[in-house]
A = this chain, B = another copy of it.
Amino acid sequence: MRKKHTSIGIAILGCGTVGGAAALALVKDKDLLERKTGLSLNLKYIVDKNFDNAVKLGLNRKLFESKLQTVLGDPAVSVVVELIGGTTVAKDVIEKALVAKKNVVTANKALLAHSGAALLSLARKNHVTLAFEASCGGGIPIIRALCDGMIANRIDALYGIVNGTCNYILTQMIGQGQSYQEALAGAQKAGLAEANPALDVSGTDSAHKLAILASLAFGEKINFDAIPVRGIDSLQSMDVEFGRQLGYVVKLLAMAVRLESGLYLCVHPVFISSGHPLAWIPGPFNAVSVYGHRTGHTMYYGRGAGGSPTASAIVSDIVSTALGTQKLLFRNLGIWGDRAKKAKQIPSGEIVSRFYLRFVVSDAAGVLAKIAAVLGRNGISIASVLQKEGVEGSGKQRGRVPVVITTHQAKEKNVRKALISLRTAKLALENPVCLHIVDEQEESF
């Protein structure tokens, strides 16, 4: 016996790219969703100040509402979907919705990274839920993997390519030999980068997602401001090419690793072995590798942005909120940010890693030996050296050659110290380039 379809009233706040796509999904897929979920999902309101996009998408004007209070006061609305973005208005709106005892679904990674625990706590106090599958990895059900499918695992590490704009730019730099500026311009032309791409290319957006994913993976409260973040905006084609020659692919990786002394979190452009699945991830796609103590390596792959994939995640959250599965998880699991203990986040200087170093040196005898000596004094041993014959430069470049060194495991603060010494001693004629090498190897079996 199947129950009569339960009717669920939904309000979408913010009708931009994602809000519009979510509204369209609810309207166009109503029958499909009813057949698959047994729920009658009824979009009752679209709340915004400006309905240009909603009109363009052909959404029913009867849904348009400019007063939030009308929506929050309507007892027929049980799920409020926040798709305004940002950390000011959106925060205020979510708080009001929770206090009004509405379940909230959101895609707002910036807000969750900063205030996730507080909002979850507010939801709990008001006996409603806060769901956020759409905040990370677009259409990839990665939040669910951490809260459900992988729940039997102690998560040991999580590596994510979680910003499609950056991955597209890097793919173009790697595959087409483009410079960062050329690749960025191409991404903007293809609609894959904002006119102001700062949030993406600086790594900040990836760090937002990392904070959310790591919190659930490890069941600990993450201090967003303590995550070291570097973007791809200073990356040079020369290093991409040297990486390739050494068997590495450069990726902007959001990393979270459980070490004995605590959690190591960072967002960096890194070199990853070309045999690792993450090295393969093309264009604007996203992927998250999760290492569980029972499963070993698992990976989740898909489109990390765009209205339609993100709408898939939003609707799946509306469904689990309406079915009540979200409530059961929220009530029982211990991994939620408002319940978790504070993570002990390891300062990046303490991290041990392999490194790729590129120096510009004068094309003279004995320079390499001197560099090696400085590295050695700082406890850094060399794994490989790549020095091409000097190419006759002109002007400022004359007599200068690049030297690439990969190191064995070394402490990051020792590397930094060595680099400063080398610069001070004018052995390095420019600021050295320093990238982590993430030794996730080809799968062993």
Interface residues of A (CB under 8 A from B): 2-3, 25, 29, 32-33, 35-39, 133, 138-141, 144-145, 148-154, 168, 190, 192, 219, 277, 280, 282-285, 292, 294-303, 308-309, 311-316, 319-320, 323-325, 328-329, 331-335, 339, 442-443, 445
Are A312 and B295 closer than 8 Å at their CB atoms? yes
Least CB distance, A396 to chain B, in whole angstroms: 38
Are B296 and A309 closer than 8 Å at their CB atoms? yes
Residues A150 and B298 in contact in the complex (CB < 8 Å), given A219-B36, A323-B328: no
Instruction: Determine chain A's interface SS by DSSP, over half rule.
Output: mixed
Are B168 and A445 closer than 8 Å at their CB atoms? yes
- On chain B, the residues within 8 Å of A190 by CB distance are 445
Give how many copies assemble into the complex: 2
Least CB distance, A341 to chain B, in whole angstroms: 10
Q: List 28 A-B contacts (CB under 8 A).
A: A25-B152, A25-B294, A29-B152, A33-B152, A36-B335, A38-B331, A38-B334, A39-B332, A138-B295, A140-B298, A141-B144, A141-B145, A141-B150, A144-B149, A149-B313, A150-B316, A152-B316, A190-B445, A192-B445, A277-B301, A285-B445, A294-B308, A294-B311, A295-B303, A295-B309, A296-B309, A297-B303, A300-B300
Residues A334 and B2 in contact in the complex (CB < 8 Å), given A323-B329, A328-B328: yes
Known: A294-B309, A295-B303, A325-B329. 9 other contacts (CB 8 A): A25-B294, A32-B154, A152-B314, A152-B316, A152-B319, A294-B308, A295-B302, A298-B302, A324-B328
Are B298 and A299 closer than 8 Å at their CB atoms? no
Least CB distance, A398 to chain B, in whole angstroms: 42
Cα(A57)–Cα(B442), bound, Å: 30
Residues A152 and B323 in contact in the complex (CB < 8 Å), given A3-B332, A36-B334: no
A149's contact among B141, B152, B328, B334, by CB below 8 Å, is which? B141
A302's contact among B297, B302, B308, by CB below 8 Å, is which? B297
Residues A148 and B148 in contact in the complex (CB < 8 Å), given A3-B332, A333-B36, A335-B36: yes
